[in-house]
Amino acid sequence: MGQQRTDARTAIEQGRTALGIELGSTRIKAVLVGEDHVPLASGGHAWENQYVDRTWTYSLDAVWEGLRAAVAELLDDAERQHGVRPATVGAIGVSAMMHGYLAFDAADELLVPFRTWRNTSTGAASAELTELLGYNIPLRWSVAHLHQAVLDAEPHVPDVRFVTTLAGYVHWRLTGRKVLGVGDASGMFPVDPATHDYDADLVARFDAHVGDRLPGGLRDLFPQVLVAGQDAGALTAEGAALLDPTGTLQAGVPLCPPEGDAGTGMVATNSVARRTANTSVGTSIFAMVVLEKPLATVHHEIDLVTTPAGDLVAMVHCNNGASELGEWAGVFGRFATALGAQATPDEVFGVLLREALEGAADGGGLLSYNYLSGEPITGLEEGRPLIVRTPGSDLSLANLMRTQVYGAFATLSLGMRILAAEGVGVDAMFAHGGMFRTAGVAQRLLAAAVGAPVAVGRTAGEGGAWGIAVLAAYLVHGGGADLGTYLAQRVFADAELEVVEPDPADVAGYTTYLDRYTAGLAIERAATEAI
């Protein structure tokens, strides 16, 4: 242990480290990793968006207050653990929630408050651009926000000279460079996977359509696109002071291209190679599949983004994940307490998940809808959590819990069916999220739901801050290897993974369940109208 502490101290003193910072929706995190990509120190800061004048936003003051707090906590943690306060690092990476709208004028002043991905006031622009470009443009994309401002003839539009994302903004202030990683850029405007840049044909269509309603073409207004491993500038003296006003952190550190949280999630789960995928199950649930070729048809249910290396990714995003399952765990936890049994929430959750494996493969005729909110993939603007059964169904705890797990995966698998119909193949899916802490249950049922092997494992680090730290290390140590090879050989070579193959009986049962679930969506729609 003493030798490990000494080695870490030496690495920190010599700057043989990488610093990753991610601005999430509720927390800003900073992670310092060594040359083996293992975290050495970390820091964080909680923050929340504000709803101001009907807009979800964060103030720029809150951005810098949060970044300084997270970095200060990381520096304190390094000193506490290793006896040294980092004065420099080998490389820095910045990541943040994707999409949204940060617009600046010629004097680099913010024109309107930051409009985050959460705002849904861009319906007209999204529909118009999707038809114009023949490419799905979701409500949250930056170009939808920009075009909606044009359609609404907002007074600030003639003054727009630069539009970027949150990660792009922070990187710009730290380095002076108006650049963006290709993964984050692909959530601003469609990217051509062949050129790893904004799609030239679609840019031309957009510029021709907008004409003189904008003060410049899209390439003039949007950041330059870079791929992982490319030079994205260095920390300036002004940037260093923004991160660490104490003056401990010195200027001159190279930065990797800033990325979005989708890209850092792919890196953190080793899911950047073609035919790999990852899924995260929490309040919402999503899957990202790295494609071998573009989709043949535009699908409103499927978002197209890229990996940090520029490969095309299909994203299936569902608003409703494991929250309803958590509600039932709370009910049964209270029942246990009422009986005089003492059990932690994790213990209750584990018991219920293991019980699900005892249920009938098709759920015994039960249906569970986990819709606490609306679900775009199934065309529902609102949600009503439901359990539905026929008189002849088998209501048991095992079947109830199995269908609760199935219900958490059902909308996702409907999106995956669209990809399967397009001929998209998945060799392996990496799953993460609290549902998978109970070994072998959700993992096995997810394998049945997506029809592919599902891997769960512990990695050296977790989350987007670690993912962008790895991308920063790749900038310095990549040595010409492609990102997928670097991750496989340098980062995840010793990772312990448990891989579960789809069980044929589970697959058959889940298929029966999903057919019943799809037919029963009429019940869910009726519920939203009646109650």
State the amino acid at position 66 in one-letter form. G
Q: Look up residue 184 and give its two tokens.
A: 């984050």
pLDDT value, residue 461: 54
Q: Look up residue 353 and give its two tokens.
A: 């998940």
| Spatial CB neighbours of 427, under 8 Å, sequence gap ≥ 6 | 275, 276, 452, 453
| Spatial CB neighbours of 420, under 8 Å, sequence gap ≥ 6 | 451
**pLDDT tens per residue, range 380-414:** 888 999 999 999 999 999 999 999 999 999 999 99
Q: Three-class SS of residue 529?
A: helix
Put residue 33 in one of left, alpha, beta given phi > 0 → left and psi -120 to 50 → alpha.
beta
End-to-end CA distance of the chain: 60
**pLDDT tens per residue, range 249-272:** 999 999 999 999 999 999 998 999
Q: Are 281 and 442 in contact (CB under 8 A)?
A: yes
**pLDDT tens per residue, range 425-462:** 999 899 887 788 888 899 999 999 999 999 987 654 56
Question: Would the pLDDT of 4 be above 70?
Answer: no
This prediction's pTM: 0.88
Dihedral angle, C-alpha 350, 354, 355, 357, nearest 10 °: 150
Q: Are 137 and 232 in contact (CB under 8 A)?
A: no
**pLDDT tens per residue, range 19-75:** 999 999 889 999 999 999 999 999 999 999 999 998 999 999 999 999 999 999 999
Residue 525 is inside which H or E element, if any?
helix 521-530
For residues 88 and 116, what is the distance between their CA atoms, to the nearest angstrom? 32
| Spatial CB neighbours of 72, under 8 Å, sequence gap ≥ 6 | 43, 244, 246
Look at residues 191, 163, 184 and name the one whose alpha carbon lies nearest to residue 232: 184
Highest mean pLDDT of the ranges 283-287, 428-432, 471-475: 471-475
Q: Are 404 and 386 in contact (CB under 8 A)?
A: no
Q: Are 425 and 452 in contact (CB under 8 A)?
A: no
Cα-trace Rg, the chain = 24
Residue 128: band (very low, low, confident or very high) from pLDDT cuts 50, 70, 90 = very high
Q: Are 486 and 18 in contact (CB under 8 A)?
A: no
Write 245-252 long-range contacts (CB < 8 A, 24+).
245/68, 246/72, 248/75, 248/85, 248/86, 248/87, 249/71, 249/75, 249/86, 249/87, 249/88, 249/89, 250/87, 250/88, 252/88
Q: What is the 3-state secondary structure (H, E, C) of 389-450?
A: CCCCCCCCHHHHHHHHHHHHHHHHHHHHHHHHHCCCCCCEEEEECHHHHCCCCHHHHHHHHH
| Spatial CB neighbours of 122, under 8 Å, sequence gap ≥ 6 | 139, 140, 144, 145, 147, 148
Question: Would the pLDDT of 500 be above 60?
Answer: yes
Look at residues 328, 327, 298 and name the one whose alpha carbon lies nearest to residue 314: 298
**pLDDT tens per residue, range 177-228:** 999 999 999 999 999 999 999 999 999 999 999 999 999 999 999 999 999 9
Determine the distance from the C-alpha atom of residue 281 to the mean position of all C-alpha atoms in its chain, rounded to a whole number: 11
- Mean of the per-residue pLDDT values for the chain? 94
In the chain, the percentage of residues whose pLDDT exceeds 90 is: 86
**pLDDT tens per residue, range 145-176:** 999 999 999 999 999 999 999 999 999 999 99
pLDDT value, residue 5: 62
For residues 143 and 218, what is the distance between their CA atoms, to the nearest angstrom? 9
pLDDT value, residue 2: 52
Q: Are 99 and 187 in contact (CB under 8 A)?
A: yes
Question: Would the pLDDT of 1 be above 50?
Answer: no
For residues 38 and 336, what is the distance between their CA atoms, to the nearest angstrom? 40
Q: Look up residue 64 and give its two tokens.
A: 């810098």
In the chain, the percentage of residues whose pLDDT exceeds 70 is: 98
Q: Are 441 and 349 in contact (CB under 8 A)?
A: no
- The length of the chain is 531
Report residue 120: phi and psi, to 5°.
-120, 30
Q: Are 18 and 38 in contact (CB under 8 A)?
A: no
